[in-house]
Chain A
Amino acid sequence: AQRVTQPEKLLSVFKGAPVELKCNYSYSGSPELFWYVQYSRQRLQLLLRHISRESIKGFTADLNKGETSFHLKKPFAQEEDSAMYYCALGTRGGNKLVFGAGTILRVKS
C-alpha cells in the first residue's frame, strides 16, 4: 500500500534557524515525491519535486531510497515560510497523489 508519513503536525522555529520537515513514504514501485505548500488563504501549490533536483525559495529535498525519506530542508527560515507543508507520493506516472497529513511550519521573529 502507498503511504506517506509526516510525523510532526507542527514545527515552530525562530527566524534564521534551520528547518527540516520530515517525510517518509511506503511504495513498492518507483516513487515520485513532491512537496506542496499552502500559505494562509491561498490554494495548494507545488513547492518542489524530487526529479527536478532544484532549490525553490531556499528549500531543498533529497530522495533517500534506502531510508524511504524525502525530508524538506532550509538552512535559514524566514517568516514568510510559515505555511502548511504536505509531502506527496505520485503514482501512475506521478499524477495520482497520496498526501501525508501535513506539517504546519511557524517561523517566529
Chain B
Amino acid sequence: SAVISQKPSRDICQRGTSLTIQCQVDSQVTMMFWYRQQPGQSLTLIATANQGSEATYESGFVIDKFPISRPNLTFSTLTVSNMSPEDSSIYLCSANRDTNTEAFFGQGTRLTVV
C-alpha cells in the first residue's frame, strides 16, 4: 500500500489569493493525480502530475489556474491561483504504484474561498 499525506487539511482563503497544496507519498509511485470534489458533487480529475515534465490537464482545467509540480516520484503540489468562491472544494491527491494497480488517496484538502 501507499500512504498519502496532504497539507493543509483545510484552509479558508481570501478571493484573489493563491493556495498551494502539498501531496507526499511514503514510497515511490509511478503515477500521481489531482482531483476536485465540489460541494455535493463527485470527484473530477484535474490533471495527471508527470514527473519531470508538465502536467497533463483534463478538459476544463488549465495550467494558469491550477499549476502543478512533481519534482520527484514521491511529491507533488497543486496551486489554486487567483481564487474565487467557485473554487471552494475538496482537492484530493491520488497515486498508483504502477499502471493497472490500485489508486490510493490522500485525505483531501478542504478549501473555502471567501
Stretch at the interface among A11-19, A20-28, A67-75, A99-107: A99-107
In contact, A44 and B92 (Cβ under 8 angstroms) = yes
- B96 within 8 Å of A (CB atoms): yes
Contacts of A102 in B (CB 8 A): 42
Given contacts A93-B99, A93-B100, A94-B100, contact A99 B106 (CB under 8 A): no
How far apart are the CA atoms of A100 and B41 in the complex, in Å? 9
**Ranked 10 nearest A-B pairs via Cβ:** A93-B99, A44-B105, A99-B43, A99-B42, A101-B42, A43-B107, A94-B100, A95-B96, A46-B102, A95-B31
0/1 per residue, A22-46, Cβ < 8 Å to B?
0000000000101000000001111
CA distance A34 to B44 in the complex (A): 15
Instruction: Give chain A interface residues in 62-108, CB to chain B under 8 Å.
Output: 86, 93-102
Q: Which residue of B lies closest to A98 (CB)?
A: B45
